Structure 1
Amino acid sequence: MGKYRLLKKTVVLAVALKAISIIAVVVTTGAVFGQQPRRLLLSSLPESPKPLEKLLAAGDVTFEVGPRVNAGDPRIIGETRYEISYRYKSQAKWQLVRDAQGARILLIDAAFSRVQWKPRHVIWLRDQPEAEDFWSNVVLMHELDHLRISTDPRVAKRFAELLRQRRVIRHPLQPGEVAGRELTDKLVEREARAVFDELTDLIAIRYRELDRETSHGRAPLPSNSNLYELLRPGVVVGMRQGAGSN
């Protein structure tokens, strides 16, 4: 029989991941040095269309406009940067058991709760669109498609689901390891981080898929794209042939 312990400490953890998506368009403008982009608050921009209000709020979006110091490739005229953080609480119980070969196994029930998934975004545009055309600007519209990918509510839901599915952790004790709260907390966080990495890797794949399928926003999104349902919701199947991303 193994010993059984209840850890009374509630673990609250958070981490973040940053990633970048770019749009590259051939232009004739040369690089500009010694300048920093200006940050724009949503309140300073033209009123957004109603369908975009929820998207912008979900993505916690801020905007930057203007050339950047050491911008590198002058063809890059738009970029979406995102940072996703997660939080959870876990009241973990652990039990030390032995397997059929006699090896010691640390058996943990992580009991995840209050799971949170919070994305934040910065959309950079080298050239600020005119006020009357701001929300219909083709570069911005492509970056908003990136935003739709990384704010997809199904990802946050899937994160919570996977944590619940993987709440039971089996860890063979290695020489020198001591079963207890410190090791339990470390293993619980490692499991949560693995789920987080799995989902953020999927977001990065979808970002690249969007750029590949639209030539970085210069072509319409193909109607047979796996991203079509997410990025073009409500479009009637029979109308897809003429639908585009910009």
Structure 2
Amino acid sequence: MLFFWGWVAVTGVALGQSPIDRSKWLSMAPGEYVRLIQAGNVSIQASDALLLQKDKVGATEFKLQIGYRYTYTIVEVEEQEGTQLARIRVMYQRPKFRITHVIHVESDFSPPDPWSSRLIKHEMDHLAVSTDPRVRAIVDGVLGATTSYEFRWEQSAAPTDKQIREEINRSSVERIADIEKIIQLAYDQLDDRSVQGNRNIDSRGEFFQNLYTGRWLQEANLKTFRTYAAGELETWGNSIPVSKLEMHYRESWQER
């Protein structure tokens, strides 16, 4: 049995330059945003060159950090015409999880009350999406439960412990990358529906509620989520009551 720690950080919307201290804005955030800011570990900075390149006036970057821990057992190793097929049971422990955000604005963006501006409200919608409690439920489901893998090597000898660990770690990193991709997908869908924050979203509550559901994860069509039955995906999506989602999104949930 093997004991192992892994730590991986991935970043969405690769942004960031010319840091500007706007911490005063964060300290003056209205109550409905304070919890999101704390959960998302948020900073605000100016990034003129990058925003010009992206043809945007604002953007939110998230960085997802997941530390996974596991033991494993070998269920079976089968030799097949010069190859070794190993069936491995991996027992993940509950992973460590942290997400940080940088909100990028133009250097001349300085409204009297930034929190009433359409731009900051839109970036707060992004923050709500990536701190959605269902993301943590998905992380726990993908990297915090017992998982079976099959690995194959083109060799005559049985796989070594090192080879098995390398494959488990590779598969774990792939899963983390897919989790990052679903958050980015939710970001992209928010931008599409709101036209980069310039248009109100119809049925806002329904839009946010449908994110991260079993059907939504299936439609994302990513390798990690194709390995799970629809019912299991629904379990993660349904693990958070609607009332808690309404409380999480609060301002974002309401029609504007």
TM-score bracket relative to the smaller structure: 0.7 to 0.9
Cα–Cα, structure 1 residues 45 and 169, in superposed 2: closer, same or farther, change >3 Å?
closer
Preserved CA contact (<8 Å) 2:39 2:131 = yes
Q: Name the structure 2 match of 1:140.
A: 120
Q: Does the alignment pair 1:16 with 2:40?
A: no
Q: Does the alignment pair 1:64 with 2:45?
A: yes
User: Once superposed, what is the RMSD of the aligned Cα atoms?
Assistant: 3.2
Preserved CA contact (<8 Å) 2:10 2:63 = yes
Structure 1: state its 5+ residue gaps: 1-5, 23-34, 235-239
| Bigger mean CA offset, 183-192 vs 162-171 | 162-171
SS of the aligned residue for 1:222 comes to coil
After the TM superposition, which parts of structure 1 deviate over 6 Å for at least 4 consecutive aligned residues? 99-102
Q: CA deviation at 1:76?
A: 2.1
Preserved CA contact (<8 Å) 1:222 1:228 = no
Preserved CA contact (<8 Å) 1:96 1:179 = no
Q: Does the alignment pair 1:50 with 2:63?
A: no
> 2:21 is aligned with what amino acid?
R
Cα–Cα, structure 1 residues 150 and 173, in superposed 2: closer, same or farther, change >3 Å?
same
Q: Find the partner of 1:185 among 134, 142, 165.
A: 165
Q: Find the partner of 2:73 among 93, 99, 102.
A: 93
Cα–Cα, structure 1 residues 70 and 144, in superposed 2: closer, same or farther, change >3 Å?
closer
Question: 1:198-209 counterparts in 2 under 5 A?
Answer: 198-209=178-189
Q: What CA distance in whole angstroms lies between the structure 2 residues aligned with 1:62 and 1:214?
A: 23
Q: What CA distance in whole angstroms lies between the structure 2 residues aligned with 1:166 and 1:187?
A: 16
Q: Name the structure 2 match of 1:39.
A: 21
Q: What CA distance in whole angstroms lies between the structure 2 residues aligned with 1:11 and 1:59?
A: 27
> 2:60 is aligned with what amino acid?
T
User: Sequence identity of aligned pairs in percent?
Assistant: 21
Q: Name the structure 2 match of 1:116.
A: 96
Q: CA deviation at 1:110?
A: 1.6
> 1:243 is aligned with what amino acid?
E
Preserved CA contact (<8 Å) 1:63 1:124 = yes
Deviation string, structure 1 residues 119-156 (Cα, Å, up to 9, x no partner): 1110011134335x121111011111111111112112
Cα–Cα, structure 1 residues 44 and 148, in superposed 2: closer, same or farther, change >3 Å?
closer
Cα–Cα, structure 1 residues 45 and 60, in superposed 2: closer, same or farther, change >3 Å?
closer
Q: What CA distance in whole angstroms lies between the structure 1 residues aligned with 2:157 and 2:80?
A: 20
SS of the aligned residue for 2:63 comes to strand
Q: Does the alignment pair 1:228 with 2:208?
A: yes
Give the aligned length.
216
Cα–Cα, structure 1 residues 228 and 70, in superposed 2: closer, same or farther, change >3 Å?
closer
Structure 2: state its 5+ residue gaps: 212-244, 248-252
Q: CA deviation at 1:164?
A: 4.7
Cα–Cα, structure 1 residues 60 and 177, in superposed 2: closer, same or farther, change >3 Å?
farther
Q: What CA distance in whole angstroms lies between the structure 1 residues aligned with 2:82 and 2:132?
A: 46
Q: Does the alignment pair 1:151 with 2:131?
A: yes
Q: What CA distance in whole angstroms lies between the structure 2 residues aligned with 1:223 and 1:17?
A: 31
Preserved CA contact (<8 Å) 1:159 1:195 = no
Q: Name the structure 2 match of 1:3.
A: none
Q: What CA distance in whole angstroms lies between the structure 2 residues aligned with 1:177 and 1:159?
A: 35
> 2:31 is aligned with what amino acid?
K
* Rg comparison, structure with higher value: 1
SS of the aligned residue for 1:109 comes to strand
TM (normalized to structure 1)? 0.74
Cα–Cα, structure 1 residues 97 and 177, in superposed 2: closer, same or farther, change >3 Å?
closer
> 2:38 is aligned with what amino acid?
A
Q: CA deviation at 1:63?
A: 0.7
Preserved CA contact (<8 Å) 1:89 1:114 = yes
Cα–Cα, structure 1 residues 224 and 135, in superposed 2: closer, same or farther, change >3 Å?
closer
> 2:111 is aligned with what amino acid?
E
Cα–Cα, structure 1 residues 224 and 106, in superposed 2: closer, same or farther, change >3 Å?
same
Q: Name the structure 1 match of 2:223.
A: none
SS of the aligned residue for 1:76 comes to coil
